[in-house]
A and B are shown apart, each in its own frame.
Chain A
Amino acid sequence: MTSNSEQLAVQERVALPTETMTIMMGPVHPAMHGTVRVVVTVDGERIVHADVQVGYLHRGFEKECESVTWGQVFPYTDRLNYVSPILNNVGYAMAVEKLLDLEVPERAEYIRVISGELSRIGDHLTCIAAIAMEMGAFSIFLYCVRARDIVYDRLEELTGARVTHAFCRVGGVKDDIPEGWLEKVRGGFDEITGVIDDIDGLLTKNRIFLDRTQGVGVVSMADAISSGFTGPVGRASGIDYDVRKDHAYGVYDRLDFDVPVMDAGDTFCRYYVRMEEVRQSLRIIDQAIDQIEPGPVKAEGAHRVVLPTKNETYNTIEGMIRHFKLVVDGIQVPEGEAYTYVEGGNGELGFYCVSDGSGVPVKVRCRPPCFIVTGQLGNMLVGHTLADVVPIFGSLNMIGGECDR
């Protein structure tokens, strides 16, 4: 198989008069993750126009949030980017804590970092698995899923759920980490790095893979900035922007890690940046495990925010009343607005919350990174061949729940 650019060159030379044809890709298409439809107009093999239609997974996230109390929003945030739910939890929790001017205990921050980075690893592994599988490398998919199951096991031991955790709370996290969990997390490193190395060996130097990804779907840095690209996709285009570094939240300022940045801006870079980030995440977790100190995991003294412990609730009338008030009337968040942003699996994951002082949010807006990235998919496809749609789209890691909300 000749490289994409050579193909184009050939087609340039023999300029036959052709008429365009419209092809539907998706919403049900092995490469469309079931939630996107691309109406491509092809002239022969080359795409002259592509109309990307999202919204097949619109679940009314914001409307639901506006009908429940502040604390009940967490399960909905889980299902935004369901590949890395904890990162969404953290983003939303930080927004409400900002509105409340609430300090989160250090241990809770570390737990958020560790579980969040685990989520990120799962996210990137899933993305790589999808790219590879859609390009025919099914074994990579199996490797990634095997590694991801380790991540899921750890998160399950911590939160009780494999995928949708709802683990964070306003003012901390739900529970402290179980006995001996940190060692288990470390124990999983070898297998994950092993899988990453295997993939490196199988894909990164694979002629077929390189031909299909290098120079495909190039986004220049200027375009990427103007299009609001962030996260791996943006960094693949040379935008040196990582919220964890540039606006360090939580305890990220105490952790030492690199932000992989490449400048070709093509599909391969987007793939490779993710590979590199998995390694960086492992570094972060390693340091966090060293630094974490015992302590409380919920904001202390914030009795009007944090639910009382089970013991208090069942054995003292004070705890019972607080529990009732917090569950029935919700946390009384002072009037105001706040925008917080964390480094999600796909980039800057922002939450813009507006409160009118009651227990029910006026507005919970999620700034979905992959919605913004997918917005430029149409432009990226033009000029490529039909076969290139699959790797380009796969490398954007469009997550339906986050894109359509």
Chain B
Amino acid sequence: MGIELYGVDSLQKILGWARKYSMFKQPFVTACCGMEYMSTMGPRYDLSRFGCEFVQFTPRHTDLLFVVGTISERQAPVLRRIYDQMADPKFVVAFGVCASSGGFYQNYAVVPGIDQIIPVDVYIPGCPPRPEQVIDGIVRLQEIIQAGETHSQRELRQLAEAKG
């Protein structure tokens, strides 16, 4: 019994370890934050050091959605559709205040935070955030993934428990 528990536990550990260091990400780049995203991917702040290098432009192959920049009401359906197309387990990072809360665009055109449309795992503040902040956010996300506490991981677990 204890052995089983141990087995399950370590299996989760291994899965989390594998997931957090092999994130395929889709950059949903819309606005100013894209500049800092480029810098983050660039040679100086090399994001590939953190197992988050591979950029995919099709949602069906990605498990990390980088929402970089302002999401307007017109863009919102597109973002939601992209999220729906991603395969579980999927993680979402809100890059910058516009994606997190609408920032200082509190007006008719801008969604006040993408978490009104899709669940968000990590919010990175800043307008735009410095690359260091982005890396910090990625590391946080990896911790959450290891702990299995991202939104989609929780959902999956609940589904599994419901099945029994």
Q: What is A's interface to B at a CB cutoff of 8 Å? A: 27-30, 33-35, 55-60, 63-64, 75-76, 78-79, 82-83, 126, 129, 141-142, 145-146, 148-149, 152, 162-164, 400-401, 404
Contacts and interface: CB of A to CB of B under 8 A. Distances in A.
Interface string B53-85: 000010000000000111010110010001000
Contacts of A56: 30, 72, 74-75, 78
Contact of A163 (B82, B104, B128): B128
B43 interface: yes
Interface string B90-131: 000000000000001101111000000000000000011010
Contacts of B105: 59-60, 64
Question: Is chain B's interface secondary structure helix, strand, loop, or mixed overall?
Answer: loop
22 contacts: A29-B57, A30-B57, A34-B68, A35-B75, A57-B30, A58-B72, A59-B31, A60-B108, A60-B110, A63-B108, A82-B32, A145-B42, A145-B43, A146-B42, A146-B43, A148-B42, A149-B39, A149-B44, A162-B130, A164-B127, A401-B32, A404-B72
Nearest to A54: B74
Interface in B38-52: 38-39, 41-44
Interface of B: 28-32, 34-36, 38-39, 41-44, 57, 68-70, 72, 74-75, 78, 82, 104-105, 107-110, 127-128, 130
Contacts of B104: 64, 75-76
Contact of B109 (A58, A146, A400): A58
Contacts of B74: 55-56, 58
Given A57-B75, A63-B109, 19 more contacts: A34-B34, A35-B75, A55-B72, A56-B30, A56-B78, A57-B30, A59-B31, A59-B107, A59-B109, A59-B110, A60-B109, A64-B104, A64-B105, A75-B104, A142-B43, A163-B36, A164-B32, A400-B31, A401-B32
Contact of A149 (B42, B75, B110): B42
Contacts of A33: 29, 34
Of the candidates B34, B44, B57, B108, the one having the most CB atoms from chain A within 10 angstroms of its own CB is: B34
B156 to A, nearest CB: 25
B107 A401 contact: no
Contacts of A57: 30-31, 69-70, 72, 75
A82 B75 contact: no
A83 B31 contact: no
B69 A34 contact: yes
A152 B39 CA distance: 10
Nearest to A405: B109
A150 to B, nearest CB: 10
A148 B38 CA distance: 10
A212 B1 CA distance: 65
A63 B109 CA distance: 10
B149 to A, nearest CB: 28
